[in-house]
A = this chain, B = another copy of it.
Amino acid sequence: MVTKQHGRPGGATEAEFLSSYDIRNYDVPLLTVDVVMLALLEDRVCVQLVNRPEHPCRGMWALPGGFVDIHQDADLDAAASRVVSTKTGIQTPYIEQLGAFGDGARDPRGWTATVVYFALLDAELLPRDAAPRVLTDLRAKSMRLQTGEIVTGDGPVSAWTEADTAAGELNLAFDHASLLTAALARLRSKGTYSALPVNLLPATFTLSRCQAVFELVVGQRLEKSAFRRRLHDADLLEQVPGAFERGSNRPAALYRIKPGHEQTVFPGMLRGERSRR
**Chain A residues close to B by CB (< 8 Å):** 1-3, 6-8, 11-14, 17-18, 21, 23-24, 26-31, 53-58, 66-76, 82, 86, 97, 99-104, 108-111, 113, 115, 146, 193, 267-269
Residue in B closest to A146 when the chains form the complex, CB atoms: B12
CB–CB B108/A18 < 8 A = yes
Residue in B closest to A6 when the chains form the complex, CB atoms: B67
Contact of A28 among B8, B31, B54, B99 (CB under 8 A): B31
CB–CB B14/A110 < 8 A = no
**5 closest Cβ contacts across the A-B interface?**
A2-B69, A75-B103, A70-B111, A3-B67, A17-B55
For this chain, the copies found in one complex come to: 2
B residues less than 8 Å from A26 (CB atoms) = 67
Q: Is the interface of A mostly helix, strand, loop or mixed?
A: loop
Instruction: Tell me which of A23, A24, A97 has the highest count of chain B C-beta atoms within 10 A of its own C-beta.
Output: A23
Knowing A1-B66, A99-B99 touch, does A17 contact B56 (C-beta < 8 A)?
yes
CB–CB B104/A70 < 8 A = yes
CA distance in complex: A110, B7 (Å): 14
CA distance in complex: A161, B1 (Å): 24
A150 CB to nearest B CB, Å: 13
Knowing A1-B69, A18-B55 touch, does A110 contact B23 (C-beta < 8 A)?
yes
B residues less than 8 Å from A28 (CB atoms) = 23, 28, 30-31, 67-68, 70
A193 CB to nearest B CB, Å: 8
Q: A3-B67, A28-B70, A31-B113 are in contact. List 4 more A-B contacts (CB 8 A).
A: A7-B53, A14-B56, A28-B31, A74-B103
CB–CB A21/B103 < 8 A = no
CA distance in complex: A20, B160 (Å): 33
Contact of A109 among B21, B101, B103 (CB under 8 A): B21
Knowing A54-B8, A56-B18, A146-B12 touch, does A2 contact B72 (C-beta < 8 A)?
yes
Contact of A68 among B18, B102, B193 (CB under 8 A): B102
B residues less than 8 Å from A56 (CB atoms) = 14, 17-18
